[in-house]
Amino acid sequence: MASKKKPKPSDFFTPEEEPPFETILNPHQVPLAARMRPRILEEVTGQEHILSPGKLLWRTIQADRFSSLIFYGPPGSGKTTLASVISNAVQSQFLEINAVSSNVSELRKIIEESRRLRRAGQRVLLFIDEIHRFNKSQQDTLMPDLERGTFVLIGATTHNPSFAINGPLLSRAMVFELRPLSDEALIHLMERALSDKERGLGHLDIDADREALIHFAKSSNGDARRALGALELAARTTDPVEGHIHITESIAAESCQRKVVYHDKAGDYHYDLASAFIKSLRGSDVDSSLYWLAKMLAGGEEMRFILRRLLIFASEDIGNADPQALILGSSALQACEMVGLPEAQIILGQVVTYFALAPKSNASYAALNEALKDVNTETIEEVPNALRDTHYAGAERLQRGQGYKYTHNYEEKSAMQDFRKSEKRYYHPTARGQERILQERLKYWQDLKKTTKDK
């Protein structure tokens, strides 16, 4: 592989290497997002949490003191762009490979090219897009040359590196999370594209209403590529009036495809969203609960996954404060299976609003956990002889069941018998919702047992 690839419109060039667009065949067929890709660190928009002056990544780049980097974030957040900018900032040879379309053979070839460049005294930055797609063996292939300093690795992934990247490789890299771009950051990018005469749309007589840019931003869901793509589509398909192109909010709405909600059902974002949903329910925030439910549904989350979480929530977090919740959740499971999407969304909405506003108690869940802890850590109690099974031949000879007091033979329908040696209490019902009734019942039985023992 040669150290200098033949320039293509989609390639990234340093300011010194970039050819003028008139030398490239049909330059305006290159997507606007590719043409407007930042060339220097100052052009990067968004990600202030890691790129503001004084922040760790900013200091690392400025000092040229970094080893390997892993960029983790949703599509369109600028992972590839940032890798290219860093390569320019530290004056390195930039080699790129995509883990989706490559294999071990191609990976070995690019490693060999890195060795050749390194022997020639050149610093190499190896960028691997979608690095989580490499299996353990492929990731391990990188390790020897990474440790020898053959190249500096920058990996990009939409998956949580803690789960998607091998521990040895992860331990040798700094991990930075990139976030979806804010609406204001997207608007800033679009305004720059509208005014840039060299790479953007500035060579056209064009302007866009603020409302149109806001619509583009909100429809792009933090993805710079989608925002710039929609802006370019509007610019190219709007008929000019006396040579002037004016993009209104209605034109923006026509130019935007259906909003794509990022939701990786196989990754950690799947669990982050479920966590936000359950925590909102637990916090009795009905509106936030509905919002996270809507985002899961819009992102294509499996209905059964949502229903399973709701059933668990009904017992774990509502419990006996409202026993009807578990019944409602179980009925919803059956109803949703029968109706199917999209109408099943109506049923889910009903259940979620009920659960969010229901009284909460985890007393039964906490009680079971405490009992399990004792079983796993304390001396195990044997079943008292009086409580042992008597329904088999020979039980009487072994004196099984002797001393058992049959509840229904007593006036209070309780024999007030000890059912284990320890008197430790596990269940502490609250006074919330219907669990108040159980609290009163428990006190009644405890008082009755104490009175009976004192006689």
Domain span at residue 189 reads 183-255
Encoding tokens for residue 197? 């005469």
Q: Identify the pLDDT of residue 73.
A: 86
Q: For residue 147, is it within any domain? A: yes
Range 216-241 burial, b when 16+ CB lie within 10 A, else e:
bbebbbbbbbbbbbbbbbbbeebeee
Supply the mean pLDDT for the chain. 82
Contact (Cβ atoms closer than 8 angstroms) between residue 193 and residue 201:
yes
How many domains does one find in the chain? 3
Within this chain, do residues 121 and 161 fall inside the same structural domain, yes or no?
yes
Q: For residue 81, is it within any domain? A: yes
Within this chain, do residues 284 and 311 fall inside the same structural domain, yes or no?
yes
Within this chain, do residues 193 and 229 fall inside the same structural domain, yes or no?
yes
Q: Is the pLDDT of residue 332 over 90?
A: yes
Beta bridge partners of 97: 128
Contact (Cβ atoms closer than 8 angstroms) between residue 179 and residue 73:
yes
Within this chain, do residues 105 and 200 fall inside the same structural domain, yes or no?
no
Within this chain, do residues 59 and 151 fall inside the same structural domain, yes or no?
yes
Q: For residue 431, is it within any domain? A: no
Range in 184-198, 285-299, 372-386, 411-425 the model is least confident about = 411-425
341/373 Cα distance (integer angstroms)? 41
Cβ atoms within 10 Å, residue 407: 12
Mean pLDDT: which of 6-15, 267-276, 323-332 is highest?
323-332
Encoding tokens for residue 162? 């803690």
Of 132, 99, 94, 136, whose CA–CA distance to 113 is shortest?
94
Sequence-distant (6+) residues with CB within 8 A of 196 are: 36, 202
Contact (Cβ atoms closer than 8 angstroms) between residue 86 and residue 94:
no
Range in 143-152, 329-338, 400-409, 440-449 the model is least confident about = 400-409
Say how many CA atoms lie within 13 Å of 138 toward its Cβ. Answer: 21
Query: Among 331, 357, 383, where does a domain finish?
Result: 357
Within this chain, do residues 170 and 73 fall inside the same structural domain, yes or no?
yes
Query: Among 306, 323, 357, where does a domain finish?
Result: 357
Within this chain, do residues 315 and 336 fall inside the same structural domain, yes or no?
yes
Q: Identify the pLDDT of residue 46.
A: 84
Q: For residue 291, is it within any domain? A: yes
Q: For residue 60, is it within any domain? A: yes
Q: For residue 7, is it within any domain? A: no
Encoding tokens for residue 71? 């960029």
Within this chain, do residues 68 and 171 fall inside the same structural domain, yes or no?
yes
Q: Identify the pLDDT of residue 89.
A: 81
Query: Among 357, 372, 390, where does a domain finish?
Result: 357
CATH number of the domain within which 230 lies: 1.10.8.60
Tell me how many degrees the CA angle 146-149-153 measures, rounded to the nearest 5: 50
Q: What is the mean pLDDT of residues 303-311?
A: 91
Q: For residue 40, is it within any domain? A: no
Q: For residue 90, is it within any domain? A: yes
pLDDT more than 90, % of the chain: 23
Query: Would you call the peptide bond into 53 cis, given omega within 30 degrees of 0 as the criterion?
Result: no
- Give the CA diameter of the chain: 108
